[in-house]
Amino acid sequence: MRAAFVKQVARECGFALAGIARAVPAAEAAYFHDWVDAGFAGAMGYLTDHRAGVRDDPRHLLPSARSVLCVAKLYNTPPAASADTIPAGHGWVSRYAWGEDYHEVIRRDLEQVVERLRAASPEPFEARICVDTAPLLERAYAQAAGLGWIAKNTCLINEDIGSWVFLGEVLLSLDLDSDVPPPDRCGTCTRCIDACPTQAIVPTGRVPEWALDARRCISYFTIELRGNIPDEHRGGMGNHIFGCDVCQDVCPWNRRAPVTADAAFAPTHFAPPLEELGVLPPEEFRARFRHSPVTRARYRGFLRNVAIAMGNSGEARFREPLERLASSDDPVVARHAHWALGRILEEQTA
């Protein structure tokens, strides 16, 4: 089977970009281990445990793999808003979580790709679909497959469509011609580094020059971190209640980013009012976010984030819901609500 045909099928199945990388250890594998060893992964056990070694070679996931089909799907939808432009008292949900859970959408579309390849292939072949959760250095393979470059903000950026894309891969036992990585086009730009509210993009003193220290990143705090968010970073979190898009919002390569017409990514959870979220009982949280990536924060983490955003608003109207959260049986929620009440008091007495 020819690589061009495989990529064409992927595009016909709804992927904006498709490319082929060889199923061999990625050049970035050593850097990944250094990053983990430096502690930058924080408490994300799935990056630091035995799965860290699995990431070294895609053949740990599919021994017969010869090629990696890498795809990218657009998720950018209107409105062209950012955390700075939403009304006061609303919470910022990262753009990627406005619609349905992308894992399900990407997997469904990749299954269709594999089905069509099987129907067209004269020979049987093995395939394994990977979507984010598989231990694979997906940005490294996407870069090797020519989809874009790994930028200073650590996102994969494509010169034509920017970085509002989900990545997915299919490991294939087929031997396909591979693509070549594009040049790094960050140049001397430092917009993402300068704009990061918590200074999470840190210098490394080596190549690559910048690394993301998850222990300072709002996305990590609001999505991945269970328990206490360090005091010193709560103020910098502003109105973010799930994820953070600042380093992508300011990137010049996203200025003309195309939008998707895929109904799955329609903005269902765009900037919800904090007032509503602060009183959500657990069952309503589950029902409201059932098919959304927001469930990853879990109920207690989500209320914790909402409490911080209420505190950062400085608005007196949030005192009452925060007092209720401060009397929660959950110590994490109660602790962050107390902090938020103190923040509002400071603001009111300033």
Query: Position 59: which residue type?
Result: R
- What count of Cα atoms within 13 Å lies in the side-chain half-sphere of residue 196? 22
Query: Position 37: which residue type?
Result: D
Q: Is residue 143 a contact point for ligand SF4 (CB under 6 A)?
A: no
Least distance from C-beta 170 to ligand SF4, angstroms? Answer: 27
Q: Is residue 29 a contact point for ligand SF4 (CB under 6 A)?
A: no
Is the Cβ of residue 59 or residue 296 nearer to ligand SF4 in the bound state?
Answer: 296
Q: Please, is 236 exposed, middle or buried when counting C-beta atoms within 10 Å of its C-beta (0-12, 13-18, 19+)?
A: middle
Q: Is residue 93 a contact point for ligand SF4 (CB under 6 A)?
A: no
Give the binding-site size for ligand SF4 (rule: CB under 6 A): 24
Q: Is residue 223 a contact point for ligand SF4 (CB under 6 A)?
A: no
Is the Cβ of residue 250 or residue 333 nearer to ligand SF4 in the bound state?
Answer: 250
Part in contact with ligand SF4 (CB under 6 A); list of ranges 12-20, 44-52, 243-251, 277-285: 243-251
Q: Is residue 201 a contact point for ligand SF4 (CB under 6 A)?
A: yes
Q: Is 34 considered catalytic here?
A: no
Least distance from C-beta 171 to ligand SF4, angstroms? Answer: 28
Q: Is residue 244 a contact point for ligand SF4 (CB under 6 A)?
A: yes
Task: Report the residue from 247, 264, 294, 340 that binds ligand SF4 according to the rule CB under 6 A.
Answer: 247
Q: Residue 61 in contact with residue 134, Cβ under 8 Å?
A: yes
Query: Position 7: which residue type?
Result: K
Task: Report the residue from 105, 150, 200, 306 that binds ligand SF4 according to the rule CB under 6 A.
Answer: 200
Task: Report the residue from 107, 191, 291, 335 that binds ligand SF4 according to the rule CB under 6 A.
Answer: 191
Helix/strand/coil (H/E/C) assignment for every residue in the chain = CCHHHHHHHHHHCCCCEEEEEECCCCCCHHHHHHHHHCCCCCCCHHHHCCHHHHCCCHHHCCCCCCEEEEEEEECCCCCCCCCCCCCCCECEECHHHCCCCHHHHHHHHHHHHHHHHHHHCCCCCCEEEECCCCCCCHHHHHHHCCCCEECCCCCEEECCCECCEEEEEEEECCCCCCCCCCCCCCCCCCHHHHHCCCCCEEECCCCCCEEECHHHCHHHHHHHCCCCCCHHHHHHHCCEEECCCHHHHCCHHHCCCCCCCCHHHCCCCCCCEHHHHCCCCHHHHHHHCCCCHHHHHHHHHHHHHHHHHHHHHCCHHHHHHHHHHHCCCCHHHHHHHHHHHHHHHHHHHC
Paired strand residues for 18: 71
Is the Cβ of residue 253 or residue 339 nearer to ligand SF4 in the bound state?
Answer: 253
Residue with tokens 């017969």: 64
Contacting ligand SF4 within 58-77 (CB under 6 A): none
Of 37, 49, 57, 132, which is the active-site residue? Answer: 132
Least distance from C-beta 210 to ligand SF4, angstroms? Answer: 8
Part in contact with ligand SF4 (CB under 6 A); list of ranges 39-47, 67-75, 188-196, 322-330: 188-196
Q: Is residue 152 a contact point for ligand SF4 (CB under 6 A)?
A: yes
Q: Is residue 305 a contact point for ligand SF4 (CB under 6 A)?
A: no
Part in contact with ligand SF4 (CB under 6 A); list of ranges 105-113, 115-123, 214-222, 277-285: 214-222
> What's the token pair of residue 189?
């730009």
Q: Is residue 253 a contact point for ligand SF4 (CB under 6 A)?
A: yes
Task: Report the residue from 21, 144, 174, 212 that binds ligand SF4 according to the rule CB under 6 A.
Answer: 212
Least distance from C-beta 243 to ligand SF4, angstroms? Answer: 7
Q: Is residue 208 a contact point for ligand SF4 (CB under 6 A)?
A: no
Q: Is residue 165 a contact point for ligand SF4 (CB under 6 A)?
A: no
Binding site for ligand SF4 (CB under 6 A): 151-153, 186, 189-192, 196-198, 200-201, 212, 217-219, 244, 246-247, 250-253
Residues annotated as catalytic are 132
